[in-house]
Structure 1
Amino acid sequence: MSKKFDKLLEAATDSTNLEPNWDGIIACFDSIRSGEVPAKAAMQSIRKRIQHDNPHVAMHALLVLDACVKNCGHKIHAEVATREFMEEFKNLGIGSQYEDVKTKVLEMLQCWAMAFANKPEYKIV
């Protein structure tokens, strides 16, 4: 089941995609939402892609992550709202050599902070 998700994620984040692959992005979050792939396994795969050396892959992976956070509910929120992930994500926003990646990460962090402001279980965000 995780291999199928990895294939979906690779298609959604392929470096040759000139535009976001919304069909692939939707397939990714649908597989998490339906329970076909556990949120923890999906996040492991997404984390690898957002740290990719190719900034196009990283940007597409950030779009997948953002769509998952917006569409998968608690399953993915619980994975995002961990100290380990938030530190890693914050460091990506500070340390990336690519301005587009930095900007997108910081934008997502700000969005999540506002969205989860009244949810104590996600205070780490």
Structure 2
Amino acid sequence: MNKEAAFQAWAGSFGIPAYAATAVPDDATEPYLTYTLATGMWGDGEQACDLSIWYRTTSEAKPNAKAREIGEALGIGGTCLPCDEGLVWVKRGQPFSQPVDSGDNAVKRRYINLSVEFLTTY
């Protein structure tokens, strides 16, 4: 599995569909997660990436709980995702999670900053 697929698999492991931010299907319904992934390789340092959690709800409880779940999965030191080229090290960015106005009062969005380091040969 290449590094992009490893990240996609990790993003999709939280019980809701995960899509690249540029590839959300027209028929997607909330809840779902979108992500942007800037890639690199060994020596490039940390890359700023993000996730957005989307819920159709009037309550803050579900999006807050999902952001907390992702934070707990990362823990203090992050998580390493094995891939064909090496490892993808996903860590908490700063600020970690923040609400964002979705433009629709019935849709709640959480924007999550990640710091991703590619310990890969390519």
- If the length of structure 1 is used for normalisation, what is the TM-score? 0.33
Which structure features the higher share of helix residues? Answer: 1
Structure with larger Rg: 2
- If the length of structure 2 is used for normalisation, what is the TM-score? 0.34
More contact order relative to length (CA 8 Å, sep ≥ 6): 2
